[in-house]
Structure 1
Amino acid sequence: MRDIAAYLRENQILYEIIEHDVTLRSAQEGAAYFGIEMGQTAPTLILKSDTEYFAMIVSGDYGHIDFEQMKDRLRCDQLKLAKPKEVEQATGFAIGAVPLVGHGLPVVMDRQLYRYAHIYGGTGYANSTLKLAPGDVEKLNRVVAMVR
């Protein structure tokens, strides 16, 4: 999905796409740039199992992924972070720019994102950020598991 704004409009979602001159490479950089709590950032990580890919949308303060626990939750034998080329192959987007919605993968979502009225995450492009409600992220994705 290349035109995320059109997709959000079609689904009648309130959102803001924020353009910026700098590439934000971490939750810390995003939080500092937007003047928000680190937990309000929402990176989309791509996980690779033995049979499929998953998008894991977490609060920026999530910490380390417990892959053993996630393997049980997702009922798979193997699970790891996808490599940059695998991310692009699975989503069509570069690592670090995977959008919060519209990537087409089953999603594992962090409940802690609901602490905030709005969260900040990828748009598919390195120099823009999507701001929207966590409930809309859940609504527009096929959530297969929740964490925390």
Structure 2
Amino acid sequence: MNRITSFLEERQASFELLTHERHIRSAKEGAEYFGIEPGQTAPALVLRSGEQYWLMIVSGDRGRVDLEDLSKRLGCPSLKMANPQEVERITGFAVGAVPLVGISLPCIMDRRLYRYPHIYGGAGEPTSTLKISPADVEKWNQVVAWIE
């Protein structure tokens, strides 16, 4: 059992851990593999501004996020994507496997995810995907901002 499964079971969460033989590398690939809409995929990305980091969970069909607007709303100088080494150092997980829950970073969440009863995203391992409700993702993260 992985760390994220333990995290969710301790909280009596409703979720499914889906395993697959190969890594899923994009929202399009995930949507095709699971037979879902691209918007149901929920990449968990890490942003940084100086020495501050945030977890950003977006809908797979969103496209670009206005980081300049987001940085103003968060009150920080500028936001950029953390590099793969930073992501692993800060979260303990590799890019592409960062879980939707269980990361102790302030979270930015995409409201578009609420279009679906379940979303699919990182589960901590490259060959596992977490299927969970967006409300539960919100519940077990420290959401500090929303992407509309």
Query: In which range does the TM-score fall when normalised by the shorter chain?
Result: over 0.9
**Whole-angstrom distance in 2 between the partners of 1:78 and 1:111:** 22
Across the two proteins, how many residue pairs are aligned to each other? 147
How far 1:96 moved relative to its partner?
Answer: 0.8
How far 1:81 moved relative to its partner?
Answer: 0.3
- For residues 1-148 of structure 1, what are the structure 2 equivalents within 5 Å? 3-148=3-148
Tell me which stretches of 4 or more aligned residues in structure 1 moved more than 3 Å: none
- TM-score computed with the length of structure 1 as normaliser: 0.97
How far 1:51 moved relative to its partner?
Answer: 3.3
**Whole-angstrom distance in 2 between the partners of 1:73 and 1:25:** 30
Indicate the SS of the match to 1:97: coil
**Whole-angstrom distance in 1 between the partners of 2:34 and 2:137:** 19
Tell me the percent identity. Answer: 57
Q: CA RMSD in A?
A: 0.8
- The one-character-per-residue Cα deviations of 1:104-140 (angstroms, maximum 9, x if unpaired) are 1110000010000000000110000000000000000
Residue segments in structure 1 that go unaligned for 5+ positions in a row: none
**Whole-angstrom distance in 1 between the partners of 2:75 and 2:50:** 10
Counterpart of 2:66 in structure 1: which amino acid? D
Indicate the SS of the match to 2:42: coil
Residue segments in structure 2 that go unaligned for 5+ positions in a row: none
Indicate the SS of the match to 1:95: coil
How far 1:67 moved relative to its partner?
Answer: 1.3
**Whole-angstrom distance in 2 between the partners of 1:145 and 1:39:** 19
- TM-score computed with the length of structure 2 as normaliser: 0.97
With 136-145 and 44-53 compared, the bigger mean Cα shift is at 44-53
